[in-house]
């Protein structure tokens, strides 16, 4: 295997590697075609507050591949990142979420919703990123105050001043920011405090066993405390059981997202999710 042969050795005849390169290339070509043919769509997952009211939704991308069926973003986002296709995909998602926001304005029980959109590192660091977000807002007529962008810690490792500049420019328009998968990255506390963030999102890996594993409980406790002292809101992702919700709530976390409250669904189905919430 190339790996065992060492970093400086090229191995042209590794059948596994060849297969994975081929797969990657066909995925890339399929993605390009998929964008043209409208095979991508968004699903939305509720985020609830301490009173279990839905105050926001996270937009998550899905791909309806003609041969493979629904492909999950874990499979194609990394390929989109490395090929640069993420720029087109990310822009599509931003517009889609903004368009949806405007549509929800006409539905009384959905009009208050904020939508959270995931932004990948390459997308964020593109020189036109700020303009592209403003363009999506402008062209759809969406309210920037209802748009939240989810960034990951890895994205912040680069030029901190540039990151702050971009965030500040968008915040001036009312856009807010959440730090996704928090706790899994490498952000130092020193610059966490410099970033104009609004929310920390506790990664689901800490939530999974928060009730039974003392070290996970210690981490969530620390994150919640840190968020509070930095003046940020905090949300836990991957909440599947009432016991997890109750435990985190006791620690002071007041916003939650996870299968306990609803799976990601198409916009058309979101009204039904709300209906079940309000009749419970
Ligand atoms: P993420 O942003 O951390 O999103 C949360 C993931 O956890 C989603 O997976 C969601 O479906 C899943 N999830 C939600 N509740 C639960 C739960 O209770 N239990 C478990 N086990 N999982 C839960 P999904 O939709 O497959 O997305 C995976 C990742 O792909 C996302 O992680 C995000 O990093 C990325 N992604 C998704 N959509 C986009 C997009 O439009 N743009 C970019 N750049 N990345 C995206
Ligand atoms: Mg996210
Ligand atoms: Mg996350
Ligand atoms: Mg995650």
Residue 258 has a pLDDT of 98
Residue 7 has a pLDDT of 58
Over range 202-228, report the average pLDDT. Answer: 96
Over range 158-176, report the average pLDDT. Answer: 94
pLDDT at 153 over 80: yes
How far away, in angstroms, is 117 Cα from ligand 2 center?
7
pLDDT at 9 over 60: no
Residue 8 has a pLDDT of 58
pLDDT at 157 over 80: no
User: Ligand 1 pocket: which of 60, 91, 200 to mutate (most atoms <8 Å of CB)?
Assistant: 60
What is the token pair recorded at 164? 């702050």
Closest ligand 1 atom to the C-alpha of 259? 18
- Band the pLDDT of 191: cuts 50, 70, 90: confident
pLDDT at 236 over 50: yes
What is the token pair recorded at 198? 């609004």
Residue 1 has a pLDDT of 42
Among 140, 133, 131, CA closest to 105: 140
Closest ligand 1 atom to the C-alpha of 42? 41
CA distance 206 to 239: 10
Q: What is the pLDDT of residues 117-147, one digit of tens each?
A: 999 999 999 999 999 999 999 999 999 999 9
Q: Whose CA is nearest to atom 25 of ligand 1?
A: 60
Residue 35 has a pLDDT of 95
pLDDT at 41 over 70: yes
- In the block, residue with structure tokens 């020189």: 127
| Three-state SS sequence of the chain | CHHHHCCCCCCCCCHHHHHHHHHHHHHHHHHHHHHHCCCEEEEEEEEECCCCCEEEEEEEEEEEECCCEEECHHHHHHHHHHHCCHHHHHHHHHHHHHHHHHHHCCCHHHCCCEEEEECCHHHHHCCCHHHHHHHHHHHHCCCHHHEEEEEEHHHHCCCHHHHHHHHHHHHCCCCEEEEEEECCCCCCHHHHCCCCCCEEEECHHHHCCCCCCHHHHHHHHHHHHHHHHHCCEEEECCCCCHHHHHHHHHHCCCEEECCCCCCCECHHHHHHHHHHHHHC
Please list every protein residue whose CB sits less than 6 Å from any atom of ligand 1.
45, 60-61, 72-74, 77, 90, 93, 118-120, 150, 180-181, 204, 237-240, 258-259, 264
Nearest ligand to the CA of 148 is: 2
Q: Whose CA is nearest to atom 11 of ligand 1?
A: 264
Mean of all residue pLDDT scores within the chain: 91
Residue 279 has a pLDDT of 43
| Three-state SS sequence of 215-257 | HHHHHHHHHHHHHHHHCCEEEECCCCCHHHHHHHHHHCCCEEE
CB 86 within 8 A of CB 122: yes
Over range 238-257, report the average pLDDT. Answer: 98
Closest ligand 1 atom to the C-alpha of 203? 3
Residue 245 has a pLDDT of 98
pLDDT at 53 over 70: yes
Residue 234 has a pLDDT of 98
How far away, in angstroms, is 51 Cα from ligand 3 center?
22
What is the token pair recorded at 275? 């209906």
Residue 126 has a pLDDT of 95
CA distance 18 to 14: 6
């Amino acid at each position: 295997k190339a790996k065992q042969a060492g970093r400086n050795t090229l191995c042209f005849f590794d059948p596994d590697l060849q297969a994975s390169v081929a797969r990657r290339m066909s995925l890339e070509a399929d993605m390009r075609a998929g964008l043209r043919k409208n095979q991508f769509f968004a699903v939305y997952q509720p985020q609830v507050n301490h009173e279990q009211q839905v105050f926001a939704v996270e937009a998550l991308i899905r791909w309806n591949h003609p041969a493979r069926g629904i492909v999950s973003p874990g499979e194609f986002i990394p390929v989109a990142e490395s090929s640069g296709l993420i720029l087109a995909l990310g822009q599509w998602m931003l517009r889609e979420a903004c368009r949806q926001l405007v549509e929800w304005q006409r539905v009384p029980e959905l009009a208050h919703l904020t939508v959270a959109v995931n932004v990948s590192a390459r997308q964020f660091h593109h020189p036109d990123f700020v303009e592209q977000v403003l363009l999506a807002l402008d062209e759809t007529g969406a309210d920037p105050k209802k748009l939240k962008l989810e960034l990951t810690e890895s994205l912040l490792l680069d030029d901190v001043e540039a990151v702050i500049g971009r965030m500040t420019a968008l915040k001036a328009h009312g856009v807010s920011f959440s730090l996704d998968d928090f706790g899994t990255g490498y952000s130092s506390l020193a610059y966490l405090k410099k970033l104009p963030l609004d929310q920390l999102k506790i990664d689901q890996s800490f939530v999974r066993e928060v009730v039974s594993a003392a070290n996970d409980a210690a981490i969530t406790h620390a994150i919640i405390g840190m968020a509070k002292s930095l003046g940020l809101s905090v949300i836990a992702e991957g909440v599947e059981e009432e016991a997890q919700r109750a435990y985190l709530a006791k620690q002071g976390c007041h916003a939650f997202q996870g299968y306990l409250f609803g799976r990601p669904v198409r916009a058309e189905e979101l009204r039904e999710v709300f209906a079940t919430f309000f009749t419970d």
